[in-house]
């Protein structure tokens, strides 16, 4: 038998997994009598949780959003997860939430039992985030874009591209993707008739939500992370390389992250890697580190760089194969 507080937590957890629970079904799931369930619901209402009850054949319980935040009931692992997230938010890529994150963390730690505070103290001393050097975005801007994605509302905004050229965009937002360094908005651009990814930190001013739009299937089969990774891997480089790798696509996909380049199957035994060619020395190094047979299709400058590197290695091997003079 669960304790009263544990049972209340379980009731809350179950109520938030569905839009409606039949009373007898919820009581059976909790393994308690329906009268006990009604008392638990009354107790949760006293604590401020907005739980709606309906009677009749289809009667039951439903959790509804309220006017204010009620007290939170968290188990140990949930409390630790929230504390870690708040800690990381103080030095993350989202601006405007640092102070509020600290206030929330202090409040959370004040009500934690001592066993959890000790674990949080250990995590605080062990997790030392480095100073973030990249662009930040405001939490309010993310909230507007996220709401537009959820409610399927067009958004309009001014945008600066990588060359600093300004344009006015009106798009149908699909979702937000965080790569660990930057935030991207994936949206259908009716003016261009194609999907686009927009760096949120390049949106100038406030984005304005507009009219509803009809939803459409997302790019890459709805895998927005894969779409952004592919866009970032190719679009940010003025020159691109194409290299045939003599291994199946599935094998190389496990070794080459989507953010490094785009892989396409050539046949059952080979695939083609498309990636940026701006740092040819680094690219040659990683091609050799893969330890697979390959051939460079383009650009010609990469073929020439690889040829020069091969000749330099051959000269080094030739010099090293000579007999070394004995030490005096």
Round to whole Å and give the CA distance between 186 and 281. 32
Whether pTM > 0.75 for this model: the answer is: no
What radius of gyration, in Å, describes the C-alpha atoms of the chain? 28
Q: What percent of the chain has pLDDT over 70?
A: 84
* pLDDT tens track for 237-290: 667 889 999 999 999 989 988 777 888 899 999 999 988 777 788 888 889 899
| Per-residue confidence (pLDDT) for residue 328, from 0 to 100 | 46
| Torsion sign over Cα 188, 192, 193, 195 | negative
| Residue range 156-177: mean pLDDT, rounded | 91
CB of 228 closer than 8 Å to CB of 257: no
CB atoms within 10 A of CB 167: 10
Instruction: At 86, list the tokens.
Output: 């708040």
Hunting for tokens 């008739």 — which residue is that? 193
Q: Are 270 and 245 in contact (CB under 8 A)?
A: yes
Residue 143 has pLDDT above 80, yes or no: yes
Mean of the per-residue pLDDT values of the chain: 82
Measured between alpha carbons, how far is 194 from 190 in angstroms, rounded to an integer?
7
Q: Quickly state the pLDDT bin for 325 (edges 50, 70, 90).
A: very low
Mean pLDDT of 67-80: 70
Q: How far apart are CA 300 and CA 69, in angstroms?
A: 62
Angle among Cα 15, 38, 73 to the nearest 5 degrees reads: 45
CB 51 within 8 A of CB 19: no
Q: Give yes or no for a cis peptide into 239 (omega within 30° of 0).
A: no
* pLDDT tens, residue by residue, 184-236: 999 999 999 999 999 999 999 999 999 999 989 988 788 888 888 877 766 66
The number of residues making up the chain comes to 328
3 state SS of 194 = strand
């Amino acid at each position: 038998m669960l304790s009263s507080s544990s049972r209340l937590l379980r009731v809350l957890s179950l109520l938030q997994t569905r839009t409606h629970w039949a009373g007898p079904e919820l009581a059976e799931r909790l393994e308690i009598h329906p009268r006990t369930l009604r008392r638990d619901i009354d107790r949760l209402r006293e604590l401020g949780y907005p739980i709606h009850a309906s009677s009749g054949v289809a009667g039951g319980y439903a959790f509804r959003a309220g006017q204010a935040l009620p007290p939170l009931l968290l188990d140990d692992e949930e409390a630790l997860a929230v504390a870690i997230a708040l800690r990381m938010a103080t030095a993350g890529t989202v601006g405007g939430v640092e102070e509020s994150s600290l206030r929330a963390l202090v409040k959370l730690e004040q009500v934690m039992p001592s066993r959890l505070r000790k674990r949080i103290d250990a995590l605080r001393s062990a997790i030392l985030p480095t100073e973030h050097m990249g662009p930040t975005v405001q939490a309010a801007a993310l909230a507007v874009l996220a709401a537009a994605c959820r409610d399927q509302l067009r958004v309009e905004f001014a945008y600066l591209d990588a060359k600093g050229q300004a344009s006015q965009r009106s798009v149908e937002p699909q979702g937000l993707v965080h790569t660990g360094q930057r935030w991207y908005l994936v949206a259908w651009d009716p003016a261009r008739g194609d999907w686009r990814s927009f760096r949120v930190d390049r949106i100038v001013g406030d984005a304005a939500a507009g009219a509803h739009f009809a939803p459409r299937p997302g790019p890459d089969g709805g895998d927005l992370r894969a779409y952004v990774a592919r866009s970032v891997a190719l679009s940010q480089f003025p020159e691109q390389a194409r290299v045939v790798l003599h291994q199946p696509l599935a094998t190389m996909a496990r070794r080459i992250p989507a953010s490094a380049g785009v892989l396409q199957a050539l046949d059952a035994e080979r695939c083609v890697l498309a990636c940026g060619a701006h740092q040819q020395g680094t690219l040659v190094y990683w091609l050799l580190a893969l330890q697979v047979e390959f051939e460079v299709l383009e650009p010609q400058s990469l073929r020439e760089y690889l040829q020069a590197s091969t000749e330099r290695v051959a000269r080094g091997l030739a010099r090293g194969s000579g007999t070394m003079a004995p030490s005096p």
